[in-house]
Amino acid sequence: MSNLAPVPELYVSYESAQKLKVEAGDLLSWDLTPRQICDLELLMNGGFNPLKGFLTEADYDSVVDNMRTADGALWPMPITLDVSEKFADGVEPGTDIALRDQEGVILAILSVTDKWVPNKAREAEKVFGADDEAHPAVNYLHNIAGPVYLGGPITGIQQPVHYDFKARRDTPNELRTFLRKMGWRRIVAFQTRNPLHRAHQELTFRAARESQANLLIHPVVGMTKPGDVDHFTRVRCYEAVLDKYPAATTTMSLLPLAMRMAGPREAVWHGLIRKNYGVTHFIVGRDHAGPGKNSQGEDFYGPYDAQDLFREHEAEMGIEMVPFKHMVYVEERAQYEPADEIADKDKVTILNISGTELRRRLAEGLEIPEWFSFPEVVSELRKTRPPRAKQGFTVFFTGFSGSGKSTIANALMVKLMEAGGRPVTLLDGDIVRKNLSSELGFSKEHRDLNIRRIGYVASEITKNGGIAICAPIAPYAATRRAVRQDVEEYGAFVEIHVATPIEVCEARDRKGLYKLAREGKIKEFTGISDPYDVPENPELRVETENVDVDHCAHQVLLKLEAMGLFSGQ
Ligand code: PPS
């Protein structure tokens, strides 16, 4: 049975907060990262009870080694404030620092008691099971987190501001108040970072029935695994599914947690957090909070490691585990059943669609059957993940001046506009230099800046479903790679090397620049007095000698069609 008395929070009273906020204006301040904002919110609102602040060095060592704080409380996850070396140099234990959100709002004061350089390899091994950057949290630890940790108690001034789904967000005490008001004493929570389909609904129904509890759908909206469906889409999906549950027994609340994908330790952590939210039962599935494959292509954790570790600590945590059943659809009986309870397995047809298969069907605009998901959920997912032929993408031409990039790019633009469907923007070298980069010259530094600007605009166009055609010289492979990375966050990047040899470009000399370059009147001229890294693996290489422009542009269109980006209809 739940004890729904309030959990301790770290906030001071409203009046003190107003006063502190003014005083904190003079303190040295740290701009929190998105992950730190999530951690701070749960520290302050009691979601991370019994922690009173960012871990001290002694607590950190103990949590990393034994899953307990120095005074023995079970706590599996290091909640640390990582900062840059430069910032840490100006902070000594004994000082107070202001913690600000990304707009500069002061959320809390940290009274620094500890400052240390952690052994990150050890943290990775002990907490995540391997020092392998294929693990998203290990990657974060080594490549995103700062090198120095600060620890100490927190004085909470205000909650981080959220503008989205406000009515669906509850602090532990707000949820406890709701549960108390509803008279719910047994509550089973379902943790998720994915959209809910019919199988999930069935398993949550069963979990609630078996534990004779009310159901709390408790999705994570802080940070989940990179590449997951964004939380805006997911919450719209959850709201659609919520209508299929009986309102009298089920509720949903959003959890601003930054997940670490730490499997077994994460499951225990999730349980402790839910306990703080007033929950009595917690569903733990196969491969709970699993990070995917390691760099050897193997799973980081065994499929039931999370359940085993949870079971080991269940009594101490005071929250009961409801093991997740793997539900599959039995066609003949038109219903979901737990896979391990189907006695007549070889006489029935068992249907299942994996996450990868679902993504493929969405990407190709293929049917997603009603037995698998709810039409409302599929329709939300289709809005966010339109088929490839409707997604934004970037075509990036690179080659010498006079190679024919602009001419082919123009022809391609016209052909794509003729086909219609998506807006097309041409970011030609000359146009960009006039409108975006007029102050830049042709040094390596300036060229890089120019290309990064083009990449930024192209990635925004791609994100918003348009087609960006870029046609700069872009002589440096590393910079092209960086642009590819920026764009690929949102859509396809199609690199096209216009491979006209320098002698041909020089012989054409359409702008008379090569002559000036040879005479030394233009310095740092690509191919003459400045380097060009030939693309090693472009999506397409086009030759322009004795080939007309129309044919070159057509080759590009065919490539786009082969990549599923253009349907030609
Ligand atoms: S870069 O390296 O990608 O930033 O160059 P980009 O912005 O595409 O260059 C656009 C045009 O600038 C003219 N130009 C030069 N090119 C190369 N090197 C030097 N030093 C130089 N000075 C001027 C050249 O005409 C480029 O136009 P394109 O369209 O490529 O012929």
- Measured by CA distance, the residue closest to atom 18 of ligand 1 is 525
Whether residue 448 has its Cβ less than 6 Å from ligand 1: no
Listed in sequence order, the residues at least 6 apart from 22 whose beta carbon sits closer than 8 Å to its beta carbon are: none
CA-522 nearest atom, ligand 1? 20
Q: In whole angstroms, what is the distance from residue 111 CA to residue 28 CA?
A: 11
Nearest to 364 by CA among 384, 383, 390: 390
pLDDT at 553 over 60: yes
* Pocket test residue of 434, 442, 447, 470 for ligand 1, highest count of atoms within 8 A of CB: 442
SS3 322: strand
Listed in sequence order, the residues at least 6 apart from 394 whose beta carbon sits closer than 8 Å to its beta carbon are: 458, 459, 461, 462, 467, 468, 469, 470, 487, 491, 492, 493, 494
Q: Strand pairing partners for 282?
A: 189, 321
Whether residue 437 has its Cβ less than 6 Å from ligand 1: no
Whether residue 453 has its Cβ less than 6 Å from ligand 1: no
Catalytic positions, please? 192-194
Whether residue 526 has its Cβ less than 6 Å from ligand 1: yes
Average confidence (pLDDT) over 365-382: 95
Looking at residue 365, its pLDDT comes to: 87
The single residue listed with the structure tokens 């959320």 is: 107
The class (CATH top level) of 388-562 is: alpha beta
CA-513 nearest atom, ligand 1? 25
Q: Which three-class secondary structure string do you get for 121-181?
A: HHHHHHHHCCCCCCCHHHHHHHHCCCCEEEEEEEEECCCCCCCCCHHHECCHHHHHHHHHH
DSSP 220: B
My answer on whether omega of the bond before 50 falls inside 30° of 0, hence cis, is yes
- Measured by CA distance, the residue closest to atom 26 of ligand 1 is 401
Task: Report which residue type is found at 109.
Answer: I
- Measured by CA distance, the residue closest to atom 10 of ligand 1 is 429
Q: Strand pairing partners for 540?
A: 496
Looking at residue 569, its pLDDT comes to: 57
pLDDT tens digits for 308-354? 999 999 999 999 999 987 889 999 999 999 888 999 999 999 999 98
Nearest to 219 by CA among 243, 195, 184, 245: 195
Residues in the chain: 569
pLDDT tens digits for 422-434? 999 999 988 899 9
Q: In whole angstroms, what is the distance from residue 451 CA to residue 484 CA?
A: 11
Pairing of β 492-498 and β 393-398: parallel
Q: How far, CA to CA in Å, does 353 sit from each of 190, 199, 363, 526?
A: 21, 10, 15, 52
Whether residue 115 has its Cβ less than 6 Å from ligand 1: no
Q: In whole angstroms, what is the distance from residue 257 CA to residue 41 CA?
A: 9
How many Cα neighbours within 13 Å face the side chain of 153?
Answer: 8
pLDDT at 274 over 90: yes
DSSP 13: P
What mean pLDDT is reported for the chain?
Answer: 95
CA angle, corner 181, sides to 159 and 276, nearest 5? 45
Q: What is the CATH number of domain 14-156?
A: 3.10.400.10
* Pocket test residue of 469, 470, 473 for ligand 1, highest count of atoms within 8 A of CB: 473
SS3 216: strand
Which residues in 524-544 are b (16+ Cβ under 10 Å) and which e? ebbbbebebeebeebbbebeb
Q: In whole angstroms, what is the distance from residue 517 CA to residue 360 CA?
A: 50
CA angle, corner 47, sides to 178 and 124, nearest 5? 150
Nearest to 395 by CA among 471, 446, 480: 471
Nearest to 68 by CA among 84, 53, 50, 54: 50
* Pocket test residue of 513, 514, 533 for ligand 1, highest count of atoms within 8 A of CB: 513
Whether residue 442 has its Cβ less than 6 Å from ligand 1: yes
Average confidence (pLDDT) over 260-271: 98
Q: In whole angstroms, what is the distance from residue 187 CA to residue 177 CA?
A: 13
Same fold, 166-328 and 388-562: yes
**Which is it for the CA torsion 85, 87, 92, 93, positive or negative?**
negative
Whether residue 522 has its Cβ less than 6 Å from ligand 1: yes
Q: Helix count (H) and strand count (E) of the chain?
A: 20, 20
pLDDT tens digits for 280-310? 999 999 899 999 999 999 999 999 999 999 9
Looking at residue 227, its pLDDT comes to: 83
Q: In whole angstroms, what is the distance from residue 162 CA to residue 373 CA?
A: 30
Whether residue 176 has its Cβ less than 6 Å from ligand 1: no
CA-510 nearest atom, ligand 1? 31
pLDDT at 38 over 90: yes
Average confidence (pLDDT) over 251-255: 98
Residue 301 near residue 290, CB atoms below 8 Å: yes
Q: Measured in angstroms, how far is the CA atom of residue 437 from the centroid of ligand 1?
A: 12
Q: Which three-class secondary structure string do you get for 29-56?
A: EEECCHHHHHHHHHHHCCCCCCCCEECC
Backbone angles phi, psi at 497, to 5 degrees: -90, 115
Backbone angles phi, psi at 111, to 5 degrees: -90, 100
Whether residue 401 has its Cβ less than 6 Å from ligand 1: yes
CA-471 nearest atom, ligand 1? 8
Whether residue 402 has its Cβ less than 6 Å from ligand 1: yes
Q: Measured in angstroms, how far is the CA atom of residue 474 from the centroid of ligand 1?
A: 9
Nearest to 425 by CA among 399, 459, 384, 402: 459
Whether residue 56 has its Cβ less than 6 Å from ligand 1: no
pLDDT tens digits for 72-85? 999 999 999 999 99
Instruction: Give the start-to-end residue ranges of the domains of the chain.
Output: 14-156, 166-328, 388-562
Q: Measured in angstroms, how far is the CA atom of residue 501 from the centroid of ligand 1?
A: 16
Residue 3: pLDDT band (50, 70, 90) is confident
Q: Which three-class secondary structure string do you get for 252-314?
A: ECEECCECCCCHHHHHHHHHHHHHHCCCCEEEECCCCCCCCECCCCCECCCCCHHHHHHHHHH
- Measured by CA distance, the residue closest to atom 24 of ligand 1 is 401
* Pocket test residue of 398, 400, 401 for ligand 1, highest count of atoms within 8 A of CB: 401
The single residue listed with the structure tokens 């009173």 is: 52
> Per CATH, the architecture of 166-328 is what?
3-Layer(aba) Sandwich (3.40)
Average confidence (pLDDT) over 247-276: 97
pLDDT tens digits for 465-509? 999 999 999 999 999 999 999 999 899 999 999 999 999 999 999
Q: Measured in angstroms, how far is the CA atom of residue 472 from the centroid of ligand 1?
A: 7
Residue 568: pLDDT band (50, 70, 90) is low
Nearest to 409 by CA among 454, 452, 440: 454
CA-437 nearest atom, ligand 1? 7
Q: In whole angstroms, what is the distance from residue 47 CA to residue 270 CA?
A: 10
Looking at residue 364, its pLDDT comes to: 85
DSSP 11: B
Q: What percent of the chain has pLDDT over 90?
A: 90
